[in-house]
Amino acid sequence: MIKKEELGIGNTVEQGIVYELRNTVAKIKYNDRYSLIAYEDLNPIPLTEEILIDRGFEYSKFYDSYVINISDTYVVCIYLHELENLYYCLTKKNL
């Protein structure tokens, strides 16, 4: 389950890409098809090494973690949509 307040247009969830946010459902695009899915039925995507590398992160021995040079701020993200939102807030660009 994902709270509506956590989502933004363009976020990636297990069911596809968030296209539109409505009161009780999100319009999700997957393979050029659209579905209306209740927020409580949306599933977040846990961050993996593959996801981080695909989005430009590099492993840092110093931090023993994956990092990307955005600013001097360090935040822990568990799900992909959280990382997408953080990146957009800091850079005004989609990840």
pLDDT in tens, 49-92: 898 888 878 877 887 777 776 666 666 677 889 889 888 888 88
Instruction: Fill in the amino acid letter for 51.
Output: I
pTM of the predicted protein model:
0.75
The predicted pLDDT at position 83 comes to 86
> From residue 68, how far is each of 34, 57, 90 by CA, in Å?
32, 5, 12
The predicted pLDDT at position 89 comes to 84
The predicted pLDDT at position 71 comes to 65
CA distance 11 to 72: 24
User: Of 45, 68, 65, 47, nearest to 56 (Cα)?
Assistant: 68
